[in-house]
Every structure is written in C-alpha cells, then in structure tokens.
Amino acid sequence: MNHKTPKQHRIWAITPSTRGFGFVVMEGQKTLVDWGVKVVKGNKNVQSLVKVEKLMEFYWPDVLMLQDVATKGSRRGPRIKSLNRQIIKMTRKRKLKVALFSGKQLRRFLLGNANGTKQEMAEMIAGRFPEELPSRLPPKRRPWTSEDSRMDIFDAAALVVAFHMRKKWMVRTG
C-alpha cells in the first residue's frame, strides 16, 4: 500500500489522545486506505512519535491533518499540545504539508453547529463510510464513563472529510 495511484492525494490524519492516537489514511476523496488506534505505554510522546514515523514511512502521505490544539479555547492538555508540535516538527524533514482544524471548526463545518457533540460527528462520519466504519462506532458516552478509544478514529476521519469538503484550509509546509 505504499504506492499511490497518480492524480490522487493521500491524506493522513492523526488525533493524539491520552492512550496513544487514532489515525485515518484516505486516498482521493472517498477511499479509506487504513484506520485504527495505536496504543502507547511508558513515555507516551516518544512512543507515539516512533509509531507516527513508522506510519509516515509506510504510507508516504501528501498532507497530514491534525487538530489545531493551539487555538483559543482548546481543552487539550500540555502533553498533547507538545506532541502535536513535535509531530509538526517531524513533518518538516519530509516537506510534508500540514493542515490544521480546531475542534470547533470541525463541528461547525461538518455539523453546522460548533456546539455539536463528538458523538453526532462520529455518527455522521460512520454514515459517510457505511462499509468501513459503522462497526467501529462506539456507544454513546455516559457522563461517568471515559471516552472510548475508538472515538479517535472518528476524530481523524472527520479531519480528512473536512479537508476534502472545504475549499480553503490552513496548510503549513515543513
């Protein structure tokens, strides 16, 4: 799966979380190439970077999508913010383009409501990829439960869908 078909861009989205990160690789506008969750233990940022680099070498994406954790109102912790910066720095070596969307931008763009829920967004994404993702859709989260790690897949898928749907995006080159 290392080789792209001509004329189709390979978009890769990563969504770091407390347990590791979720990812989605999309080729063209409709083909999901791969998706999943990578769990890390120990020094989570170091282990995440090792796994990110291996995936980057395997898929050779054209664009990396990340959540913009530097925006005002971002509730991501310092470790995740640091990991995002380290991933962006890593992409500079490969001259990979990086596109960023904040969580609010994603919900506003995909759901039409910045106050929409991650569950609503995940259900919308599952409907967009009916062959690949519905079986991975976690149940609705209860207030007393932790977020299901599979939600990271849907966060990443939302990033690649938004990338293709939106005419203008914030892209940095390495």
Give the pLDDT confidence score for residue 24 in this predicted structure.
97
- The dihedral through the CA atoms of 74, 156, 79, 100 has a sign that is negative
Write b or e for each residue in 56-92: b if 16 or more Cβ atoms lie within 10 A of its Cβ, otherwise e.
beebebebbbbbbbeeeebebeeebeebbebbbebbe
| 27 in Cβ contact with 13 (< 8 Å) | no
Render pLDDT for 30-74 as a digit per residue (tens, 0 to 9).
889 999 999 999 999 999 999 999 999 999 999 999 999 888 878
**DSSP-derived 3-state class of residue 11:** strand
Say what the pTM is: 0.87
Give the pLDDT confidence score for residue 2 in this predicted structure.
55
Render pLDDT for 86-123 as a digit per residue (tens, 0 to 9).
999 998 888 889 999 888 888 888 898 888 888 999 99
Give the pLDDT confidence score for residue 129 in this predicted structure.
93
- Stated as kind and residue range, the H or E segment containing 10 is strand 10-16
Domains, the chain, ranges and CATH?
10-129+149-172 (3.30.420.10)
Mean pLDDT of 145-156: 93
Give the pLDDT confidence score for residue 122 in this predicted structure.
94
